[in-house]
Amino acid sequence: MDNKVLVAEHISKSYVGVQALDDVSVTIKQGEVKCLAGENGSGKSTFVKIIAGIEPADSGDIYISGEKQLKSNAISAINAGVQVIYQDLSLFSNMTVAENIALNKMIKEKKSLIDKKEIKRIAIESLKKIGVTMDLDAKVQTVSIANRQIIAICRALALDAKILFMDEPTTALTKSEIEKLLEIVNMLREKGLAIVFISHKLDEVMSVADSITVFRDGKQVADIEKDDIDRMKLIYYMTGREIEYSRYSRTNTDTDNLLELRGLSKSKQFENINLAVRPGDIMGLTGLLGSGRTELALSIFGLNPVDAGQIYFNGKETKISSPVDAVKKGIALLPEDRSTQGLLLDKDLTDNVSSAAFDKVTNKMGILHEGSRLELADQSIKRFKVKIPNAQTKIKTLSGGNQQKVVLGKWVATEPKLFILDSPTVGVDIGSKSEIYEQIQKLAHEGLAIILISDEIEEIVANCNRVSVMFKGEIVKEFDDEAMKDDQIETKIMDVINNLHLQTKSGESEAV
């Protein structure tokens, strides 16, 4: 029996002279988890759009379950069994869990009447397939991101999906939620569903994949079984070069603290935080999601007023009641969500870079000086190696890595003394990640004090000379400069995190 669910042969696609895909052929079998790997702009998204019928291929053939796909549209792809779960999940937040799961199936079956019993029956049946129960009447806007992922999966199952594409499904999930999602992926694989898993997190790719197809510059450069490849070889296929992150070591001799937090507390968010950061420090803040790290960053930046404690900056106690106060003092924040909090997506690079450094691009009368704006933009492009046609290009057209470089450039233009980086490489490909690390370390060597918040222990170990681990709003473990030089430091930090994770799971079990 032929168990090939998808056969895509010699697929090519170009956009106004740009070859997005060049003679790509991919086969995916029933009960296989195929990972698509590659940097942003490598052709992964274009391939998915073509299989999903959103974009027509210029050439090539697509077969689903042995049948050649003659029409190139989303309806014919759905009818053939193709389902895509995009990063935004495409759910209706004001509708119930059951309605979101069942709606597309009812539309497909051309049901003209709303039958609430039928809606619930479809939802229950889909949830049963993955062994999950959920409040069917809850509005989607009230449920967690993890449960929204499950809802999107169940919606696909309700439509009798044969092949399911999952685009960066773990980006906003906690460690335990990721484990649960990967359990569901494995369960669906055992039931014969073909799954295409797209992720920048190479540890997830290596753990969940049966096979990996690597795209680079629109070409298919590798198609290999997971057992035949290691992490370093995968990185080489993706980037065309060997990438090894250099470990940061502080060279600044200044012993005075630039920032000192004493007993900083915020009800239900964090408690009794004592933290000191010197010029040239890259202080890592890590721990499980929900530990209070982002809330602490927002408080330092004046967006989350504290209930108790003191902030000292340059040796003096200070009050920071707004971001304007923070920027005036020399504090910058690269936010967790660059799209909604860090960028003006519909504006160009010049507008974005100059938006935080208003005093540098205006005269005493407050009138914008275009030459200064363009100079600032040009400096940012050169320093952070932003891949962009020109400074007038709209930011929304750039890859995630280049967007993040623009946010870095925007805040560096303010000449900060303290730079808080919250998850600086989320959704960033491996090549851009390496370039961002290089820039972070360069800034620290130039004398900036940096607080780096991250879930990725590899990222923390590569870039930080000191680390504090947070759990349930408190700092529970600290690693100083000397401890960070230990060759086994990554394992030691992981042991702390895993123990905290076990505590969380134990607490959840007790609650149940």
Average pLDDT of the residues in 173-202? 90
Q: Is residue 244 part of a domain?
A: no
Percentage of residues in the chain with pLDDT exceeding 90?
63
User: Does 247 fall in a domain?
Assistant: no
Q: Compute the average pLDDT of residues 378-405.
A: 88
Average per-residue pLDDT in the chain?
A: 90
Structural domain harbouring 118: 4-239
Is residue 249 domain-resident?
no
Compute φ and ψ for 316, nearest 5 degrees.
Answer: -120, 140
Q: State whether 207 and 348 are in the same domain.
A: no
pLDDT digits (tens, 9 = 90+) for 80-119: 999 999 888 889 999 999 999 998 898 888 776 678 889 9
Q: Which pLDDT value is given to residue 340? A: 74
In a domain, 499, yes or no: yes
Which of 186, 210, 239 is the last residue before a domain boundary? Answer: 239
Asked whether residue 107 is assigned to any structural domain, the reply reads yes
Q: Is residue 279 included in any domain, yes or no?
A: yes
Do residues 224 and 319 share a domain? no
Where residue 49 falls among pLDDT bands split at 50, 70, 90?
very high
pLDDT of residue 427: 78
| Contact of 420 with 331, CB cutoff 8 Å | yes
* Domain presence at residue 254: no
Task: Identify whether residues 378 and 230 lie together within a single domain.
Answer: no
* Listed residue (132, 76, 131, 134) closest to 100, CA to CA: 134
Which residues, at least 6 apart from 153, have a Cβ–Cβ distance to it below 8 Å?
85, 130, 164, 184, 188
Residues 491 and 487: their CA atoms lie apart, in Å, by 9
Confidence of residue 387 (pLDDT cuts 50, 70, 90): confident
The reply to whether 392 and 465 lie within a common domain is yes
pLDDT digits (tens, 9 = 90+) for 397-420: 888 888 889 999 999 999 999 999
- State whether 121 and 154 are in the same domain: yes
Residue 409 in any domain: the answer is: yes
Do residue 293 and residue 148 come from a single domain?
A: no
List, in order, residues 6 or more apart from 506 with CB less than 8 Å away. none
Residue after which a domain boundary falls, among 239, 267, 293: 239
**Residue 511 pLDDT:** 39
Mark whether 234 and 264 lie in a shared domain: no
Same domain, 373 and 404: yes
> Do 218 and 273 have their domain in common?
no
177 and 278 share one domain: no
Quickly list H helices, 52-174: 74-80, 97-108, 116-129, 145-158
317 and 228 within one domain: no
Q: Indicate the pLDDT class of residue 507, thresholds 50, 70 and 90.
A: low
Q: Is the pLDDT of residue 509 over 50?
A: no
* pLDDT for the residue 44: 92
Confidence (pLDDT) at 112: 67
Cα(477)–Cα(398) distance, integer angstroms: 38
Predicted pLDDT of residue 32: 96
Q: Same domain for 368 and 399?
A: yes
Choose one of 191, 208, 239: the last residue of a domain.
239
Confidence of residue 492 (pLDDT cuts 50, 70, 90): very high
Give the pair of three-digit tokens for residue 6. Answer: 């998808």
Q: What is the pLDDT of residue 195?
A: 96
* C-alpha triplet 238, 240, 246: angle, nearest 5°: 90
For residue 420, CA distances in Å to 277, 307, 315, 366, 510 come to 11, 21, 19, 28, 36
| Total number of domains in the chain | 2
- Where residue 20 sits, what CATH number does that domain have? 3.40.50.300
- The pLDDT of residue 431 is above 80: yes
Query: What are the tens digits of pLDDT across the range 258-308?
Result: 999 999 999 999 999 999 999 999 999 999 878 999 999 999 999 999 999
Residue-wise pLDDT for 205-245, tens only, equals: 899 999 999 999 999 999 999 899 888 899 999 988 888 88
pLDDT at 512: 32
